[in-house]
């Protein structure tokens, strides 16, 4: 019954001689919200980037709905249509207005009608509280606003899964809240989310499952309560002690 | 063959003249009508002589007058008195005698001397004068007007020469400038589109799942693009122009060939500019585009290139300005753009200094104006502003 929509099998990733991922296994069910925590350089972001092939896995399998995309790379676009990504640096398209940032992929990739896409974009912008900025230049937005637009952009594709790669790490502290609020609202909708984050409180509140990564392997995983309140591994304990103190 | 034709022609003409003279004689024998006939003939056949070697002044030369000249006092038996109204010329009162070359050797002719008292300056311009001849033969008389033009001559001073060259030949300069601007602009525009092709070739990326055929094709295209850029940036445009025009005789039209060379040359430079523009776009946008399922082509077309081109606009504008200067080398294949036009002008009076001084100013005005216009556009478009460009 419990069928996984996304499975990562024995994933290895080398950057030249450096082994960043050392055999990751991960199963994701529909609607699940998973937070990935760990110190810098533990491979969290690389894992996320391998899932939609922004990084080419060196070894292992990425299986989405039973299809092993490591062997079906010519169909990568099908995978990416369904797995959206939100970046630490927002990565908005600077030559396009806010609304065009949202509509370009549906119109060009999914061949959706332009006016219908615009209407939908306005709804989604309303959802993230950015409706009045629809026709603004992206340069004029604050970091928090940019990230909310980036989230809206990812939603335009009606993805099954959204990958969040440290979505609040590049933000000024006072802007973190607005982005986390949007993500919390999103979590209510039943969409599947994989979140790499350093916001421990947030991870604890929102997640169904928390994964602690260390030096390229999944060191510990479990319910948020277990990981945050009763971490079994000493590494996890050390990490949490350091982070929560800070 | 042509000698034969010439011989026949000479014969026919000589015969016609003899025939005409015989006719004249017979006409002269009659009365009053003959007298007026003489006069009509007089002012039909009147000739002026230049003070320079006593050459006959044709009507054309009379309109480009730069030296003194002589008007005849008689024509056969017909006496001619002249009047001249001009601030620049005077007519002598006394009759002089000059020897002019004719078919029957030197012939002495009685003439009045028309001398230039004042050379018109270039600012005063061409001076049209009217010579009125009063023809008298026995008791019959007639008057007739002849028009000529006294033109300014180039002053000996530098500033005078510059002013003269500029005003006198402004039309030729402007024709050259128009051609220069035209070739530069069209060459830059065509070069831009060619550059897009070259850049697409050069920035092809080989991905892990390309078939070996696709991979080989991409590598070949990359090599060709790189070679093109090296070739055209590494050789002087004057050599390229000579190669395509004198070597290959391309298009059979120097102007088209020149345009072709400028376009190819500019393409190589703009390709490197755009490639720099592409590299300056942070990779995050490409990743975002990929993550939304866009193909590489779509990413380039809708996201990267618009930004790269916009950022490259100032540098591409500089290429246009550089072309305004560098198209001077097209004079080597005989295109009369601004520089070549100037060489022509300089040769007219053998006054190189003035001609090249004037053209230097014209080039400066062109490049400065275009640069300031581009700067204004750049400011409007919110682009990074660049300084006046140096040559390639």
pLDDT in tens, A58-79: 889 888 888 888 888 778 888 8
How far is B327 from B180, CA to CA, in rounded Å?
Answer: 7
- Angle made by CA atoms A148, A152, A156, in degrees to the nearest 5: 170
B281 lies in the same domain as B216: yes
B60 part of a folded domain: yes
pLDDT at B9 over 60: yes
CATH of the domain at B94: 2.60.40
Tell me which chain B residues have a C-beta less than 8 angstroms from the C-beta of A74: 209
Question: What pLDDT, on a 0 to 100 scale, did the predictor assign at position B121?
Answer: 83
Mean pLDDT (chain A) is: 88
B311 lies in the same domain as B177: yes
B300 lies in the same domain as B233: yes
Question: What pLDDT, on a 0 to 100 scale, did the predictor assign at position B98?
Answer: 85
Report which of B186, B209, B177, B216 is spatially closest to residue B363, judged by C-alpha positions: B177
Which of B123, B153, B183 terminates a domain? The answer is B153
CATH of the domain at B347: 1.10.3720.10
B210 lies in the same domain as B235: yes
Nearest Cβ partner of A80 from B209, B285, B291? B291
B8 part of a folded domain: no
For an interface test with B, the pick among A94, A153, A159, A163 (most B C-beta atoms closer than 10 Å) comes out as: A94
Question: What pLDDT, on a 0 to 100 scale, did the predictor assign at position B349?
Answer: 84
Closest residue in chain A to residue B210, using alpha carbons only? A74
**What proportion of chain B, given as a percentage, has pLDDT over 90?**
29
- Residue partners of A222: CB distance under 8 A and separation at least 6: A209, A210
pLDDT-derived band of residue B26, with 50, 70 and 90 as boundaries? Answer: very low
B118 lies in the same domain as B171: no
pLDDT at B234 over 90: yes
B127 part of a folded domain: yes
B161 part of a folded domain: no
Cβ within 8 Å of B, A 59-98 = 73-74, 77-78, 80-81, 83-85, 87, 89-96
Chain A, chain B: beta-carbon pairs less than 8 Å apart: 71
Tell me which chain B residues have a C-beta less than 8 angstroms from the C-beta of A77: 293, 295
Domain extent for B63: 26-153
Q: What pTM was estimated for this model as a whole?
A: 0.76
Q: ipTM score of the complex?
A: 0.89
- Residue partners of A233: CB distance under 8 A and separation at least 6: A212, A219, A220
Q: Please answer whether residues B295 and A74 qualify as being in contact, where contact means their C-beta atoms are separated by less than 8 angstroms.
A: no
Nearest Cβ partner of B291 from A52, A95, A108? A52
Question: What pLDDT, on a 0 to 100 scale, did the predictor assign at position B296?
Answer: 85
Report which of A139, A159, A138, A157 is spatially closest to residue A149, judged by C-alpha positions: A138
B11 part of a folded domain: no
Question: What pLDDT, on a 0 to 100 scale, did the predictor assign at position B206?
Answer: 77
Which of B153, B184, B217 terminates a domain? The answer is B153
Question: What pLDDT, on a 0 to 100 scale, did the predictor assign at position B27?
Answer: 44
Looking at the complex, report in whole angstroms how far the Cα of residue A238 sits from the nearest Cα belonging to chain B: 33
Tell me which chain B residues have a C-beta less than 8 angstroms from the C-beta of A89: 282, 284
Q: Please answer whether residues A46 and A222 qualify as being in contact, where contact means their C-beta atoms are separated by less than 8 angstroms.
A: no
B1 part of a folded domain: no
How far is B348 from B326, CA to CA, in rounded Å?
Answer: 25
B38 lies in the same domain as B78: yes
Question: What pLDDT, on a 0 to 100 scale, did the predictor assign at position B29?
Answer: 44
B195 lies in the same domain as B336: yes
B14 part of a folded domain: no
Question: What pLDDT, on a 0 to 100 scale, did the predictor assign at position B162?
Answer: 87
B180 lies in the same domain as B117: no
Which of B98, B124, B153 terminates a domain? The answer is B153
Closest residue in chain B to residue A153, using alpha carbons only? B292
How far is A221 from A238, CA to CA, in rounded Å?
Answer: 15
B228 lies in the same domain as B375: yes
pLDDT in tens, B267-315: 999 999 999 999 988 889 999 998 998 888 889 889 999 999 888 888 9
- Residue A218: φ, ψ to 5°: -80, 110
Mean pLDDT of A196-202: 89
B290 touches chain A (CB under 8 A): yes
A52 touches chain B (CB under 8 A): yes
For an interface test with B, the pick among A92, A93, A158 (most B C-beta atoms closer than 10 Å) comes out as: A93
B225 lies in the same domain as B182: yes
Which range is least confidently modeled, A41-55, A203-217, B60-74? Answer: B60-74
pLDDT in tens, A71-128: 887 788 888 889 999 999 889 998 888 999 999 988 988 898 888 989 999 999 988 8
Question: What pLDDT, on a 0 to 100 scale, did the predictor assign at position A56?
Answer: 87
Using the beta-carbon criterion (under 8 Å), do A54 and B298 form an inter-chain contact? no
Cβ within 8 Å of A, B 296-335 = 298, 302-303, 306-307, 310
pLDDT at A29 over 80: yes
pLDDT at B57 over 90: no
pLDDT in tens, B65-119: 888 888 888 888 888 888 888 888 888 888 888 888 878 788 888 889 988 888 8
Mean pLDDT of B113-127: 85
pLDDT in tens, B333-384: 988 989 998 998 888 888 888 889 989 999 999 999 999 998 888 888 776 5
B206 part of a folded domain: yes
Taking phi over 0 as left and psi of -120 to 50 as alpha, with beta for the rest, A81 belongs to: alpha
For an interface test with A, the pick among B277, B278, B290, B293 (most A C-beta atoms closer than 10 Å) comes out as: B293
B211 lies in the same domain as B330: yes
B190 lies in the same domain as B134: no
pLDDT in tens, B132-175: 888 888 878 888 888 888 888 888 888 888 888 888 889 999 99
Question: What pLDDT, on a 0 to 100 scale, did the predictor assign at position B15?
Answer: 61
E strand or H helix at A19 = strand A18-29
Tell me which chain B residues have a C-beta less than 8 angstroms from the C-beta of A54: 287, 290-291
pLDDT in tens, A127-169: 888 888 889 888 888 888 898 899 999 999 889 999 999 988 8
Question: What pLDDT, on a 0 to 100 scale, did the predictor assign at position B25?
Answer: 47
Question: What pLDDT, on a 0 to 100 scale, did the predictor assign at position B320?
Answer: 93
A138 touches chain B (CB under 8 A): no
Total of domains in chain B: 2
Write the secondary structure of chain B as one string of H (helix), E (strand) and C (coil): CHHHHHHHHHHHHHHHHHHHHHHHHHHHCCCHHHHHHHHHHHHHCCCEEECCCCCEECHHHHCCECCCEEEECEECCEEEEEEEECCCEEECCCCEEEEEEECCEEEEEEEEEEEECCCCCCCCCCEEEEEEEEEEECCEEEEEEEEEEECCCCCCCHHHHHHHHHHHCHHHHHHHHHHHHHHHHHHHHHHHHHHHHHHHHHCCCCCCCCCHHHHHHHHHHHHHHHHHHHHHHHCCHHHHHHHHHHHCCHHHCHHHHHHHHHHHHHHHHHHHHHHHHHHHCCHHHHHHHHHCCCCHHHHHHHHHHHHHHHHHHHHHHHHHHHHHHHHHHHHHHCCCCHHHHHHHHHHHHCCHHHHHHHHHHHHHHHHHHHHHHHHHHHHHCCCCCCCCCCCC
């Amino acid at each position: 019954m419990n069928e996984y929509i996304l499975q990562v099998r024995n994933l290895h990733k080398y950057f030249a001689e450096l082994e960043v991922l050392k055999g990751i296994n991960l199963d994701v069910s529909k609607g699940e919200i998973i937070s990935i925590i760990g110190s810098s350089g533990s491979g969290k972001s690389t894992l996320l980037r391998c899932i939609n092939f922004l990084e080419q896995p060196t070894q292992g399998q990425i299986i989405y709905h039973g299809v092993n995309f490591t062997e079906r790379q010519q169909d990568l676009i099908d995978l990416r249509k369904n797995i959206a990504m939100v970046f630490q640096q927002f990565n908005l398209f600077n030559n396009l207005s806010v609304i065009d940032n949202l509509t370009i992929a549906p119109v060009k990739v999914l061949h959706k009608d332009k006016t219908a896409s615009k209407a939908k974009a306005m709804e989604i912008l309303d959802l993230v509280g950015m409706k009045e900025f629809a026709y603004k230049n992206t340069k004029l937005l604050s970091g928090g606003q940019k990230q909310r637009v980036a989230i809206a952009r990812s939603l335009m594709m009606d993805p099954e899964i959204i990958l969040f790669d440290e979505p609040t790490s590049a933000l000024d502290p006072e802007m973190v809240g607005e982005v986390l609020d949007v993500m919390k609202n999103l979590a209510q909708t039943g969409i599947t989310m994989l979140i790499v984050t350093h916001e421990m409180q947030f991870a604890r509140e929102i997640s169904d499952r928390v994964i602690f990564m260390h030096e390229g392997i999944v060191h510990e995983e479990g319910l948020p309560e277990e990981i945050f309140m009763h971490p079994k591994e000493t590494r996890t304990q050390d990490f949490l002690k350091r982070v929560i103190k800070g | 063959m042509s000698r034969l034709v010439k011989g026949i022609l000479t014969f026919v003409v000589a015969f016609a003249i003899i025939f005409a003279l015989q006719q004249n004689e017979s006409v002269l024998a009659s009365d009053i009508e003959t007298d007026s006939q003489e006069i009509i003939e007089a002012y039909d056949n009147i000739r002026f002589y230049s003070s320079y070697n006593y050459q006959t002044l044709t009507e054309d030369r009379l309109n480009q007058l730069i030296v003194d000249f002589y008007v005849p006092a008689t024509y056969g038996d017909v006496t001619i008195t002249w009047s001249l109204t001009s601030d620049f010329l005077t007519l002598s009162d006394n009759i002089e005698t000059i020897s002019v070359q004719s078919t029957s050797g030197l012939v002495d002719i009685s003439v009045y001397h028309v001398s230039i008292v004042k050379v018109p300056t270039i600012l005063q311009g061409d001076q049209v004068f009217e010579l009125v001849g009063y023809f008298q033969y026995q008791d019959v008389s007639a008057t007739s007007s002849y028009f000529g033009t006294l033109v300014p001559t180039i002053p000996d001073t530098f500033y005078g020469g510059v002013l003269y060259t500029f005003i006198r030949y402004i039309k030729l300069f402007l024709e050259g400038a128009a051609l220069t601007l035209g070739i530069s602009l069209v060459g830059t525009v065509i070069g831009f589109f060619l550059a897009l092709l070259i850049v697409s070739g050069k920035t092809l990326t080989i991905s892990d799942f390309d078939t070996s055929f696709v991979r080989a094709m991409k590598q070949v295209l990359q090599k060709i693009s790189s070679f093109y850029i090296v070739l055209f940036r590494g050789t002087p445009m004057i050599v390229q122009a000579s190669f395509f025009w004198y070597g290959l005789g391309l298009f059979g039209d120097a102007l088209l060939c020149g345009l072709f060379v400028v376009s190819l040359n500019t393409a190589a430079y703009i390709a490197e500019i755009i490639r720099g523009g592409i590299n300056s776009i942070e990779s995050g946008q490409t990743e975002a585009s990929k993550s939304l399922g866009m193909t590489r082509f779509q990413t380039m077309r809708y996201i990267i290139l618009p930004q790269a081109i916009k950022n490259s606009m100032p540098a591409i504008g500089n290429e246009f300005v550089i072309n305004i200067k560098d198209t001077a080398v097209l004079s080597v294949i005989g295109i009369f753009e601004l520089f070549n036009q100037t060489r022509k002008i300089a040769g007219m009076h053998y006054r190189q200094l003035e001609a090249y001084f004037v053209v230097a100013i014209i080039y400066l005005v062109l490049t400065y104006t275009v640069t300031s216009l581009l700067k204004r556009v750049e400011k409007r478009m919110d682009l990074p502003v660049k300084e006046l460009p140096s040559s390639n």
